[in-house]
Structure 1
Amino acid sequence: MEKDADILGKYRSISNKLKKRFLKRPNVAEGSEQYGALGKCLQQQECPQYAAFCYLAQARCEHTLVNVAGEGQALLEAARNFVHAELDNVGLRCPSFHEHLTAAINCYCHAVRVHIENKNSPLAAALCLELGSVLQKVNKPGEAMVHYQRAADLQSQSPLDCLVSLGHVASCKIQSRDYDGALGVFTEMAYLAQESGGSGTTGQPIGAYCDIIVQCEITRVLLLMLLQPSPQRIRPEHAQTLEKYAWETNEENTPSQFLDEDLFLLLQSVVMACQSQDIEALSLLQVDLWPRLSAEQNDLLQLVVHEISHPASDSVM
């Protein structure tokens, strides 16, 4: 494209070629190709919002041509360019109504709908995950959660992928300080991993499913210590989880097939320290647990320590 090219003029020129003429059928395939080429040029010139509009026009052409794959790809390019424009505004701290983000969400949702209608649930789920990641990046965990949950629903036939998506849902709930909701999601994940990950010979979860069960177990214990539900309000499945970590637990009830002995004893000690409000012991346990936990779990443990240290502060509930 020439240095001082009239971008709007080029766009209009392509659009005019696609207008219906008497006894002349417009060449929609050529128009789609030209919109795509103009979009690429605008991307190279760092004009993502204008490139996005070109890709939207290309998507309309592909829809007319009944090219589902082409339509979905053009919508995705439009969405990513709108995201680029939004992140540019955020980086420059430009005041805005987040119109680029809204346009990106609409493009992603349209692309998801196109793939669902074409019976391509895996690709639709991948786009839901990508949109969720974008929304988390701009600090909108509540909105991201909706799309992560939709991805999990679309992945119902693929348990491992579904568990990964549910993990993102739970992380968004933690980020939104909905700890009770996060506890419910991790409990659902533990049951799903237990049911779906069993081997044909032993029936016990294997491989990645075991890792997910361990991570769910650790996070559920930390969330319960953070929430400190009363005996009257605690749900049976959560009470059953805490019973595993009582001092009088017998060997049959310990989750030794998933947790190694040292980690189990450390979590058991955390539960006891929280129940006895022993902040000194809890601080020492935090040092031992720190290298064995994920960043999210360490943040939860820090919140637990803070809540035990400051009982008069506002409850997380």
Structure 2
Amino acid sequence: MAAEGDFLLRYRTVSNKLKKRFLRKPNVAEASEQFGQLAKELKQQDCPQYAAFCNLAMARCEQTLFNAPGEALSLTEAARLFMEAERETQQLRSPGFEEHLQAAVNCYSFAVKVYIEVNQPVMAASLCLELGNALKEMNKPSEAAVYFQRAAELQVQVPIECLLSLGCVATCKILTRDFDAALSIFTEMQFLIQERALQVPGTSTPVGSFLDVLARCEISRVLLLMLLQPPPQKLLPEHAQTLEKYDWESDSHCQVNFLQENVFLLLQSVVMACQEKDIDSLKSLQTELWPLLSPEQNQLLHLLVLERVCPSGQGF
């Protein structure tokens, strides 16, 4: 309580210096510096929420001084401190209304807005990603997806970064069991790679990180299509074309040369096992594919096996 009282007294003292007085202009720069010093002291004393309020006051001062970079930096620091305070509250399992989290989200959003206004979309996107990752860590994938999507929109001029952000959106959709949305996002990512990716000269094969992202999209899309099992009349043309490549009677590995041959053949077998409703083969294929897939893809495969074992959905 003593620390809180001291903080409030010093905060008010600095704030009073900003009040307009007759024939005297307030020294905003000095007030901003003093708020910053108070914020550092409070941060060292493990009082992140109070330090965050001081950074907010700094941001208002920098706004008055028309210093957009300074305003954005102060808002970002306030956001991180509010987020730290929220994590501490959650770790202590203290009752609350997530007020620190809401304050953090607001500060991040204002900082993003400032960076957009000064034409710094890269900085704005990085803050969206930072907030998205923080929300995902707090088991809030639905909220996180919004900021990952915003990051992707801001990174439209940088294809690989845009793809990675969209991949985060897809992950969040999978975590919330919105498999239709995840499938749409992975399909959008594949179209983006076809349009924007660097390619091997004379071919349509992407290079570098684009190839890794394309492989992730292809495997995830096949597994999601098997999990969703859309009826033929509702199967979109792009999804039908994907499944045609895995028809056992067609020699289609040349069309998916970005996958290792053993992965392609195992996926082809998964498609056939699902079509034939061969549960035993599907379980065996799961064992073979397990070391070749990412944790997220293995989770999809696991859900696929459960759905085939318990068609009523009890496996979920």
TM-score (norm 2): 0.95
Once residues 33 and 134 of structure 1 are traced to their aligned partners in structure 2, the CA distance between those partners, rounded to angstroms, is 29
In structure 1, what is the equivalent of residue 273 of structure 2? Answer: 273
* Higher alpha-carbon deviation: 136-145 or 163-172: 136-145
Deviations 1:12-46 (A, max 9, x none): 11111121121111111111111111111111111
Once residues 26 and 154 of structure 1 are traced to their aligned partners in structure 2, the CA distance between those partners, rounded to angstroms, is 38
1:143 is displaced (CA, Å) by 1.2
User: Structure 1 unaligned runs (5+)?
Assistant: none
Once residues 3 and 209 of structure 1 are traced to their aligned partners in structure 2, the CA distance between those partners, rounded to angstroms, is 53
- Superposed, 1:9-88 pairs within 5 Å as 9-88=9-88
1:315 is displaced (CA, Å) by 9.2
Query: Is the Cα contact below 8 Å between 1:55 and 1:74 reproduced in 2?
Result: yes
In structure 1, what is the equivalent of residue 187 of structure 2? Answer: 187
- Superposed, 1:245-256 pairs within 5 Å as 245-251=246-252, 254-256=254-256
- The amino acid that maps onto 1:215 is R
Once residues 37 and 210 of structure 2 are traced to their aligned partners in structure 1, the CA distance between those partners, rounded to angstroms, is 45
1:239 is displaced (CA, Å) by 1.0
Once residues 213 and 256 of structure 1 are traced to their aligned partners in structure 2, the CA distance between those partners, rounded to angstroms, is 10
1:313 is displaced (CA, Å) by 2.6
- The amino acid that maps onto 2:215 is V
In structure 2, what is the equivalent of residue 258 of structure 1? Answer: 258
User: Structure 2 unaligned runs (5+)?
Assistant: none
Task: Label 1:4 to 1:139 Cα distance change in 2 as closer, same or farther (>3 A).
Answer: closer
1:5 is displaced (CA, Å) by 7.4
Deviations 1:245-277 (A, max 9, x none): 1111124x6434211211100110111111111
Deviations 1:160-181 (A, max 9, x none): 1100110011111111110001
1:139 is displaced (CA, Å) by 1.4
Query: Is the Cα contact below 8 Å between 2:247 and 2:268 reproduced in 1?
Result: yes
Task: Label 1:288 to 1:4 Cα distance change in 2 as closer, same or farther (>3 A).
Answer: closer
* Higher alpha-carbon deviation: 199-208 or 134-143: 199-208
1:196 is displaced (CA, Å) by 1.1
Percent identical pairs in the alignment equals 57
Once residues 195 and 206 of structure 1 are traced to their aligned partners in structure 2, the CA distance between those partners, rounded to angstroms, is 13
- Give the count of matched residue pairs: 314
Once residues 200 and 286 of structure 2 are traced to their aligned partners in structure 1, the CA distance between those partners, rounded to angstroms, is 39
Once residues 285 and 249 of structure 1 are traced to their aligned partners in structure 2, the CA distance between those partners, rounded to angstroms, is 20
- The amino acid that maps onto 2:245 is K
Query: Is the Cα contact below 8 Å between 2:303 and 2:315 reproduced in 1?
Result: no
